[in-house]
């Protein structure tokens, strides 16, 4: 008689922090700007909160490019999400990825057969890179949206430089940045300053003129949302740093060794050691399985209260949401949206939900930096700024917005050593592979063994 097959294990349903608690359970998916803002705003609310994220840390994305260009440690801009309990005991953290949502039974399914029930749901999971179907882009370009990607760019940079130092004589090295928005401009400017200011000291064997930083933008100007005068200033500031700025230029294909571009109907292949993709975002593919209404870019459609259309007590905030009046995909709309949803939940608990006014975004402005003492800023109720003053405001605001005093202090020290002390050329680096000289690449195994034997003999003779 054959044995019966073992039954499949049942999913594990996680309870809230307080066993037996009858308090409403708020589940927040995503530990970014919006998610953390919503959780903190519910600190004194009579609810239990579960914060879910695929990572155990919050990443301060506006400074990822500083990690990619070896100016900041990844730990400077990441914050342990479980540390949120230090000042808030009605929240607990759960590492996981939401695979599906059962809206009728108010249950989330996570990878690993874990399920979480909720009374209120806040989706603040952000978005991911959009490659716009460009052939080869997803395989060979590196986005700047996650900590691991910033580290990949940084390590690839030094791998290329070490290779170039031995085998690069007589050839050129190019770094390509795709996208002329804030991330692209800041990244290209940082690469150019590293080449101009640090490499003459740290890589004296390299010819600076043979190392190119190319910024590609489809539009006729960089920093499209900014005022025309600020766009012109940014363009001149990039060119002053010898960034090879190519406007009205489309990327047709990304290859392992560079990019194929098109300008005025003419195609050109740019050989490159690094291609950084800093343009466009879209919803994570997994959102398709969540049974929520999706609009442009796969973003979740919400009403004037950030409530998901057709779903009671379920909300979406930040980059993943799109409402009647689309908001810029910046930190402030996410933070303000998170606070509004928390306010709405607290009002609903008291039967006062109808009294809450629709969400209205308060535009505090936007800014971007090109490099040391060079930035542009459009700040509400202030004149348009550029140059040193805009840069000082940019530095101060980004340090202040970081989560955790240790992160603020570390970032202040590292950025200070980079920008204030001209004699410092230290870079925050990782591991790079050994470099093999090109003339050694075709040596046979027998020749390699013979070389090794001769080296050992010489060492023994000493």
Catalytic sites, residue numbers: 186
- Contact indicator for 298, 126 with CB cutoff of 8 Å: no
Maximum CA extent, the chain? 90
Q: In degrees, to the nearest 5, what angle opens at C-alpha 400 toward C-alphas 429 and 338?
A: 105
What is the rounded distance in angstroms from the CA atom of residue 120 to the CA atom of residue 122?
A: 7
Distances (CA, A) of 304 to 40, 344, 359, 362, 442: 22, 12, 6, 14, 66
What is the rounded distance in angstroms from the CA atom of residue 196 to the CA atom of residue 184?
A: 18
List all residues 6 or more positions away from 9 whose beta carbon is below 8 Å from its beta carbon: 113
Distances (CA, A) of 451 to 205, 439, 444, 456, 462: 27, 14, 11, 9, 17
Question: Residues, the chain, total?
Answer: 462
Q: Which residue has the tokens 């998170």?
A: 338
What is the rounded distance in angstroms from the CA atom of residue 205 to the CA atom of residue 163?
A: 12
What is the rounded distance in angstroms from the CA atom of residue 226 to the CA atom of residue 298?
A: 26
Nearest to 342 by CA among 25, 31, 24, 38: 38
**Which residues lie across from 259 on neighbouring strands?**
254, 270
Count how many Cα atoms sit within 13 Å of the Cα of residue 166 in the half-sphere of its side chain.
Answer: 13
Q: C-alpha 156: how far from its chain's center?
A: 17
- Contact indicator for 177, 214 with CB cutoff of 8 Å: yes
Q: In degrees, to the nearest 5, what angle opens at C-alpha 118 toward C-alphas 113 and 119?
A: 165
- Contact indicator for 282, 137 with CB cutoff of 8 Å: no
Q: Report the sign of the C-alpha dihedral through residues 246, 251, 254, 257, in that order.
A: negative
What is the rounded distance in angstroms from the CA atom of residue 121 to the CA atom of residue 29?
A: 8
Nearest to 67 by CA among 411, 417, 403: 411
Eight-state DSSP code of residue 152: H
DSSP states of 3-18: PPPPPPPPPEEEP-SS
């Amino acid at each position: 008689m054959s044995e019966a097959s073992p039954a499949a294990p049942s999913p594990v349903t996680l309870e809230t922090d307080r066993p037996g608690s009858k308090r409403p359970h708020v589940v927040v998916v995503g530990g970014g700007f919006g998610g953390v803002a919503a959780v903190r705003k519910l600190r004194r609310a009579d609810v239990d909160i579960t914060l879910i994220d695929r990572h155990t840390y919050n990443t301060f994305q506006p400074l990822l490019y500083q990690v990619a260009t070896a100016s900041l440690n990844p730990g400077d801009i990441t914050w342990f999400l479980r540390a949120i309990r230090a000042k808030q005991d009605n929240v607990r953290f759960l590492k996981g990825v939401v695979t599906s949502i059962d809206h009728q039974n108010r249950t989330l399914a996570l990878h690993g057969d874990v399920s979480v029930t909720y009374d209120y749901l806040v989706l603040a999971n952000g978005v991911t890179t959009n490659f716009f179907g460009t052939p080869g882009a997803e395989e060979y370009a590196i986005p700047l949206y996650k900590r691991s990607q910033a580290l990949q760019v940084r390590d690839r940079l030094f791998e290329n430089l070490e290779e170039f130092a031995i085998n690069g004589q007589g050839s050129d090295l190019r770094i390509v940045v795709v996208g002329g928005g804030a991330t692209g401009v800041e990244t290209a400017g940082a690469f150019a300053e590293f080449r101009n200011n640090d490499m003459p000291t740290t890589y004296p064997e390299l010819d600076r003129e043979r190392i190119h930083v190319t910024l590609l933008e489809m539009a006729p100007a960089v920093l499209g949302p900014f005022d025309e005068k600020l766009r012109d200033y940014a363009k001149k500031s990039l060119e002053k740093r010898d960034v090879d700025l190519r406007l009205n230029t489309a990327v047709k294909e990304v290859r392992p060794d560079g990019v194929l571009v098109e300008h005025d109907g003419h195609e050109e292949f740019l050989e490159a050691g690094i291609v950084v993709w800093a343009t466009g975002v879209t919803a994570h593919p997994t959102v398709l399985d969540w049974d929520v209404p999706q609009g442009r870019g796969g973003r979740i459609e919400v009403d004037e209260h950030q409530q998901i259309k057709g779903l009671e007590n379920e909300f979406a905030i930040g980059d993943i949401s799109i409402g009647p009046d689309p908001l810029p995909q910046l930190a402030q709309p996410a933070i303000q949206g998170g606070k509004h949803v928390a306010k709405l939940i607290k009002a609903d608990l008291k039967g006062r939900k109808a009294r809450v006014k629709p969400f209205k975004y308060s535009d505090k402005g936007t800014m971007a930096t090109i490099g040391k003492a060079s930035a542009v800023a459009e700040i509400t109720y202030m004149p348009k700024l550029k140059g040193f003053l805009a840069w000082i405001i940019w530095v101060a605001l980004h340090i202040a917005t970081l989560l955790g005093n240790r992160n603020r202090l570390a970032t202040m020290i590292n950025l200070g050593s980079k920008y204030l002390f001209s004699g410092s050329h230290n870079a925050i680096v990782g591991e790079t592979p050994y470099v093999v000289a090109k003339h050694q690449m075709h040596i046979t195994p027998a020749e390699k063994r013979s070389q090794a034997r001769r080296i050992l003999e010489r060492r023994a003779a000493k």
